Amino acid sequence: MQPKDADGPDPVDFAIGARMRARRRQLNLSQTELADALGVSFQQVQKYERGVNRVSGSTLVAAAAALDSSVGWLVGEEGDSAQSDDVFRALATPGALELLHAFGRISAPRTRAALLALAEQLAAGADADESVRARRSEDEVERV
């Protein structure tokens, strides 16, 4: 079992929550509708989906039923777990699923390629900006 990262949710809890969110969105269920099926508040569903709160065994079984999936799928035991964890982690990013759906509706291959190139450039710029911020923080610490 992996140790919990002190800076965020446990990776397993996060992966389960990401799968719950992706499946809920695929079924066009609101957080409130899923919460009603689970007998919890929609805020609790939000915490499950972000991996902040762990899903109990009985709630996991209820979630699998409500989401028309299996417990094994929700916990990542069906298929290539490491690869699917990466996919679900990416899809858990706000706006990622909407972007994917919009991308799928673009019929022109050149337009899809241009959008992909733009996204990769923006991501590279964001990575560079983060790297600069990290170096500045390190420099500030060294000065102290």
The string of pLDDT tens digits covering residues 37-72 is 999 999 999 999 988 999 999 999 999 999 999 999
Residue 81: name the closest of 8, 18, 15 by CA: 15
Q: Is residue 99 part of a domain?
A: no
Structural contact between residues 71 and 64, judged by C-beta atoms closer than 8 angstroms: yes
Structural contact between residues 4 and 70, judged by C-beta atoms closer than 8 angstroms: no
Residue 33, domain extent: 1-93
Q: How many angstroms separate the CA atoms of 68 and 64, rounded? A: 6
3 and 44 in a common domain? yes
3 and 39 in a common domain? yes
DSSP codes of every residue in 3-72: PPPTTS--HHHHHHHHHHHHHHHHTT--HHHHHHHHTS-HHHHHHHHHTSSPPPHHHHHHHHHHTTS-HH
Q: 0.75 exceeded by the pTM?
A: no
64 and 4 in a common domain? yes
pLDDT at 3: 46
Higher-confidence residue: 63 or 91? 63
125 and 60 in a common domain? no
Residue 11: name the closest of 78, 97, 81, 80 by CA: 81
State how many domains the chain has. Answer: 2
Structural contact between residues 124 and 49, judged by C-beta atoms closer than 8 angstroms: no
CATH number of the domain that residue 54 is part of: 1.10.260.40
124 and 89 in a common domain? no
76 and 26 in a common domain? yes
Q: Pick the most confident of 7-21, 65-79, 104-118.
A: 104-118
Q: Is residue 101 part of a domain?
A: no
121 and 87 in a common domain? no
84 and 30 in a common domain? yes
User: Cα dist. 45→35, 48, 60, 69, 124 in Å?
Assistant: 6, 5, 12, 17, 33
Residue 41: which residues within 8 A CB-CB, separation 6 or more? 35
